[in-house]
Amino acid sequence: MVSPALARELSLLAGAITPATAQATMQLLAPCHDMTPPAGMVLMRNLAYGTHPRQVLDVFRPAAEHTAQPVLVFVHGGGFVGGDKCEFGPFYDNIGLWAARQGLTGVNINYRLAPDHPWPAASDDLQSALQWLARHASPVPQPLRPIVLMGHSAGASHVAAWVARHGAHAAALGVAGVVLVSGLYDLDAAAPTPGRAAYFGADAAERASRSPLIGLSQAGLPMLLAHAEFDPPENHDQTLRLATACADTPSGRPLVVDAAGHNHFSTVLQLGAFETGWSAALRDFALDRSVTPRRPA
């Protein structure tokens, strides 16, 4: 669990989603991590799923081969204009290592960024990465395992957009569940920022037309939604909006986790350092996908 002392430190970083807050959170959590790979784990770096320099991914394969065990595909944040899969010391390798320790295959992807690559470039890249994983048996042994897509912050918005645009064909690519952490799903209700305008467009009507809320809520995929206790109010509101929209569909209300003691960044930076209710919920959700009926890729 998040210790009371660490929770107090994280609470002092509440509300602000800035590079300085991210860096301060990393400094708090880096000493908590043991980055020793599990025995027998295979790490494959910078596998190209496209021709652009940012269309690369890392694979963390556990030693034991369990064909039913899911693949956790993580999509990082960065305000739509920044971020990297392994730029920050132990982060975000900690997520791939955490996945491997659970017996999952972890995949961390990079994607193209705004302003050079606006909407829908990132969700197009996620589609390309999933198609690449379906074709390549070396990184992810075939038959393709169930895939859980996990996005954080801007990455959650990109995963949401992928589901809204491609969710009808999710099973064909092996996608069996979605984890969305502190993202934006109803763009009509989201405050404009330079990064959001660079990716989704400066025009409010254009941004609203690109909102994934309706398509995401109607996709019928199992979903785990999470936000941090010390997230800005907007993130809590966005989670509630999506959960409410899903409640009116046949698939029903998704599982919602309020990650106690966490700020916007620590939900993902903590994974692998110590067990929390949030990390246990993520593990259980991912492992539960292994019993989901599958169609061939």
pLDDT digits (tens, 9 = 90+) for 198-217: 999 999 999 999 999 999 99
Q: CA-to-CA distance for 228 and 267, rounded, in angstroms?
A: 7
pLDDT per position as a tens digit, 165-188: 999 899 889 999 999 999 999 999
**What pLDDT is attached to residue 295?**
37
Which H or E run contains 22?
Answer: helix 19-29
Is 70 exceeded by the pLDDT of residue 297? no
pLDDT per position as a tens digit, 217-246: 999 999 999 999 999 999 999 999 999 999
Q: DSSP class of residue 31?
A: G
**What pLDDT is attached to residue 63?**
83
**What pLDDT is attached to residue 142?**
62
Q: CA-to-CA distance for 26 and 134, rounded, in angstroms?
A: 33
Mean pLDDT of 253-260: 93
Is 70 exceeded by the pLDDT of residue 67? no
Band of pLDDT at residue 293, cut at 50, 70 and 90:
very low
> How many C-alpha atoms does 132 have within 13 Å on its Cβ side?
20
**What pLDDT is attached to residue 2?**
75
Q: CA-to-CA distance for 133 and 162, rounded, in angstroms?
A: 16
**What pLDDT is attached to residue 291?**
53
Give CA torsion, residues 73, 77, 83, 86, to 10 deg: -40
Domain ranges of the chain: 4-291
The pLDDT > 70 percentage for the chain reads: 94
**What pLDDT is attached to residue 1?**
65
Closest CA to 127 of 99, 154, 147: 147
| Architecture of the domain defined by 4-291 | 3-Layer(aba) Sandwich (3.40)
pLDDT per position as a tens digit, 26-62: 999 999 999 999 888 999 999 999 999 999 999 999 9
Name, in order, each residue with C-beta under 8 angstroms of 80's C-beta and a sequence gap of 6 or more: 113, 114, 122, 154, 157, 195, 196, 198, 199, 200
φ, ψ for residue 78 (rounded to 5)?
150, 25
**What pLDDT is attached to residue 65?**
63
- Token duo for residue 198: 């660079």
Are 57 and 50 within 8 A, CB to CB?
Answer: no
Ramachandran bin of 73, using left for φ above 0, alpha for ψ from -120 to 50, beta for the remaining angles: beta
Q: CA-to-CA distance for 78 and 181, rounded, in angstroms?
A: 13
**Strand arrangement, sheet containing 223-228:** 42-48, 56-61, 105-109, 71-75, 147-152, 175-181, 223-228, 255-259
Angle between helices 4-11 and 19-29 (to 10 degrees): 170
Q: CA-to-CA distance for 219 and 165, rounded, in angstroms?
A: 9
**What pLDDT is attached to residue 141?**
64
